[in-house]
Amino acid sequence: MDYVYGPGRNHLFVPGPVNIPEQVLRAMNRNNEDYRSPAVPALTKTLLEDVKKIFKTTSGTPFLFPTTGTGAWESALTNTLSPGDRIVSFLIGQFSLLWIDQQQRLNFKVDVIESEWGEGAKLDVLAAKLAADTDHTIKAVCIVHNETATGVTNDLSLVRRILDEYRHPALFLVDGVSSICALDFRMDDWGVDVALTGSQKALSLPTGIGIVCASPRALEASKTAKSLRVFFDWKDYLKFYNLGTYWPYTPSIQLLYGLRAALDLIFEEGLENVIARHKRLGQATRLAVEAWGLKNCTQKEEWFSDTVTAVLVPPYIDSSEIVRRAWKRYNLSLGLGLNKVAGKVFRIGHLGNLNELQLLGCLAGVEMILKDVGYPVKLGSGVAAASSYLQNNIPLIPSRI
Ligand SMILES: *Cc1c(COP(=O)(O)O)cnc(C)c1O
């Protein structure tokens, strides 16, 4: 294959997969091991304990599946629900659309609550549905915390408040693929029953681990849930946890060592500092977009995402052309507009192992590419807006204080 890398670094600014830190790359560069030796369960034990911290749960039970976010979705659904179960799900962009498609193909009856792309989940409609559902026919509420296609973050604490207000027992299932480990996420405080993420997003690992975390209620539900499941069955994992944290099938040893290193880096920085860093990166990006005179796809401030910004381009520009040329000319990888917003937005992913100066490099590249495609931008305008904000807000590096 005549793939040409070009000099220097690729500026990877798609909202997943993201940059892998050197420490993680090195930790994974190792030989295979006998996974039945005592070394592996000793490692697994630390991973299961520490993964709970990124979900902010003490009562949850995590499962590390060799899969992607899509497999984690399937695990969450099939372990807790039975075919024909009524569930409520919000359609706000491409990732929620794909999850709903999976829910329908798994034979759940899905009440789809649709929003315009760029808007958040319509929680008032959820409230009305729960209020009307006095027989408790709704078995689960499914929501994507951060819709990666449009850069919209939903308020999960509000979902919990609505469920509580109507004393509704529906399970609360959350896709946290582009939020957990980057945005404020609190599994226990928000009474989330199943939360899930994928390794290639904020955790900054290669693709290949789907992390699913189940509340005690979800574990209880799994005892009677009738959906067909084999590979993703929690029961098989629980059996091996009871044997001392061995695995039901061959674990990816290299990825487990990578996860260890990734968690160590996150805890060294401090999870709250990681979240604060994402807030800075999100705010700096939005300031740049504003300075360019462009609009954010996200319609209201309350939904602004600190992990991805979808930028609307004027109708005379094809956003796919921006993405194509940014890669060809500047070695900058931006996210395409997906489905309904294809051609209309390009996305800047600002999640994972990333710092402010890297982001400024990306913003400088975006300015040049905008000019290349005929958008009248003043070079340096977005970078200036972002850097003057960052210069006032970047703290010392936590490990160097
Ligand atoms: C990336 C992503 C997914 C899909 O994950 P895969 O690892 O590609 O299967 C699901 N949900 C959200 C919100 C995502 O950002």
Alpha-carbon separation of residue 325 from 5, 18, 330, 372, 374 (angstroms): 15, 20, 8, 9, 13
- What are the residue ranges spanned by the domains of the chain? 11-18+271-400, 22-267
The string of DSSP letters for 67-87 reads S-HHHHHHHHHHHH--TT-EE
Among the listed residues 177, 182, 215, 209, the one whose alpha carbon sits nearest the alpha carbon of residue 196: 177
pLDDT digits (tens, 9 = 90+) for 76-98: 999 999 999 999 999 999 999 99
- Ligand 1: which residue has its CA nearest to atom 6? 69
Residues across the chain: 401
The answer to whether residue 1 scores a pLDDT higher than 60 is no
- Ligand 1: which residue has its CA nearest to atom 5? 69
- Identify the pLDDT of residue 227: 98
Q: Which numbered atom of ligand 1 lies nearest the CA of 15? A: 15
Distance 319 CA to ligand 1 centre (A): 21
The angle at the Cα of 257, spanning 398 to 39, to the nearest 5 degrees, equals: 120
- Identify the pLDDT of residue 280: 98
pLDDT digits (tens, 9 = 90+) for 366-381: 999 999 999 999 999 9
Q: Which two tokens stand for residue 384?
A: 């200036």
Distance 372 CA to ligand 1 centre (A): 31
**Mutation test residue for ligand 1: of 14, 70, 117, the one with most atoms within 8 Å of CB:** 70
Q: What is the spatial distance between Cα 212 and Cα 346, in angstroms, rounded to a whole number?
A: 30
Q: Residue 290: in which H helix or E strand, if any?
A: helix 271-291
- Identify the pLDDT of residue 5: 76
Q: Is 282 in the pocket of ligand 1 (CB under 6 A)?
A: no
Fold matches, 11-18+271-400 and 22-267: no
Confidence of residue 401 (pLDDT cuts 50, 70, 90): confident
The CATH architecture of the domain made up of 11-18+271-400 is: Alpha-Beta Complex (3.90)
Tokens 């290639």 locate to: 200
Q: Which numbered atom of ligand 1 lies nearest the CA of 176? A: 13
The answer to whether residue 245 scores a pLDDT higher than 60 is yes
Q: What is the spatial distance between Cα 284 and Cα 288, in angstroms, rounded to a whole number?
A: 6
Q: What is the spatial distance between Cα 370 and Cα 292, in angstroms, rounded to a whole number?
A: 9
Report field, pTM of the whole predicted structure over 0.75: yes
**Mutation test residue for ligand 1: of 148, 185, 232, the one with most atoms within 8 Å of CB:** 148
Average pLDDT over the chain, rounded to an integer: 97
Q: Are 198 and 72 in contact (CB under 8 A)?
A: yes
pLDDT digits (tens, 9 = 90+) for 183-233: 999 999 999 999 999 999 999 999 999 999 999 999 999 999 999 999 999
In angstroms, how far apart are the furthest CA atoms of the chain?
A: 64
Least confident of 12-21, 104-113, 242-251, 287-296: 242-251
- Identify the pLDDT of residue 398: 85
- Ligand 1: which residue has its CA nearest to atom 2? 177
Percent of the chain topping pLDDT 90: 95
Q: What is the spatial distance between Cα 21 and Cα 265, in angstroms, rounded to a whole number?
A: 9
Q: Are 45 and 191 in contact (CB under 8 A)?
A: no
Distance 66 CA to ligand 1 centre (A): 14
Cα radius of gyration rounded to whole Å, the chain:
21
Distance 121 CA to ligand 1 centre (A): 18
- Identify the pLDDT of residue 6: 81
Distance 105 CA to ligand 1 centre (A): 18
- Identify the pLDDT of residue 399: 85
The angle at the Cα of 210, spanning 206 to 215, to the nearest 5 degrees, equals: 145
Q: Is 16 in the pocket of ligand 1 (CB under 6 A)?
A: yes
- Identify the pLDDT of residue 210: 98
The residues with which 173 forms a beta bridge, in sequence order, are: 142, 194
- Sign, Cα dihedral of 328, 334, 340, 343: negative
Q: How far is CA 124 from the centre of its chain?
A: 24
- Identify the pLDDT of residue 2: 64
Distance 234 CA to ligand 1 centre (A): 21
The answer to whether residue 340 scores a pLDDT higher than 80 is yes
Q: What is the spatial distance between Cα 24 and Cα 202, in angstroms, rounded to a whole number?
A: 13
Return the CATH number of 22-267, one of 3.40.640.10, 3.40.50.20, 1.10.3720.10, 3.30.1340.30.
Answer: 3.40.640.10
Range 53-64 average pLDDT: 98
